[in-house]
Amino acid sequence: MYLFAFMAGIVVPKTLDSGEAGPLAQAIAVNTPLLAMFAVQHGVMARDTFKSRLTKCVPEPLERSVFVIAASSVLGLVYWLWQPIPAVLWDVQLSWLRGGMWSVFVAGLLLVLYTSFLIDHFDLFGLRQVWLYYRGRPYTPPRFSARSLYKYVRHPMMLGLLLAFWSVPTMTWGHALFSALMTLYIVVGIRMEERSLVRKLGEDYRRYREGTSMLVPWFPDRGHGDAEHATSGIPVEGGPR
């Protein structure tokens, strides 16, 4: 939620375009490594080899919680240290078109939230794992069937983020840099996640991938719509994971 407010320039004290602008080269030199750090944190901690090493140091039920805390901490650094680049790339003046673009932005936010509950919101943030451990019950990853939005697009959460990244009516170069780097990360992260899903789920996920679009919704063949797959989202989804 803070990410969306950060991009929209509302409510939160520090946003993508707020603050005193410095030299362009300095802003790029600060902002690019910040988002690279976010991508590396997600990419490394999402790998099974890292998870197996991490659970030698922390209890297994806390693995996902540690991931979420690390991701939140890195995002906090991005929000705090981000350098604005205020030059305007586009600025839509027509009121109806501005309203339409903000509507797409809100739709992206709602799509991310809705998808998080389709996956299992509490599992995504590591709460279900700890609660089951506290109750003395074994943890089983949520099985996710190709239902609802997943019948039409393989990564609806990432689609929601992309809509929000690019639909603001006033786009500064700083915002464009943020959106471009995050878009690149999403595309790369999806490829990595899907290779992992193919290894885990085999032919079922291959058929699902062949019959369902990655990011642009379309109506799949009925034969592909029932493939079941276990996923946690963003390359997570949520990602990214």
Higher pLDDT pick, 217 / 36 = 36
Residue 11 is predicted with a pLDDT of 93
Higher pLDDT pick, 178 / 119 = 178
Residue 228 is predicted with a pLDDT of 44
Q: Is the pLDDT of residue 121 over 90?
A: no
- Here the contacts of 125-130 (C-beta below 8 Å, separation 24 or greater) are 125/64, 125/65, 125/68, 126/62, 126/63, 126/64, 126/65, 126/66, 126/67, 126/68, 127/65, 129/61, 129/62, 129/63, 129/64, 129/65, 130/61, 130/62, 130/65
Structure confidence at residue 212 as a pLDDT band (50, 70, 90): confident
Residue 221 is predicted with a pLDDT of 53
How much of the chain exceeds pLDDT 70, in percent? 89
Show me where the domains of the chain are located: 2-229
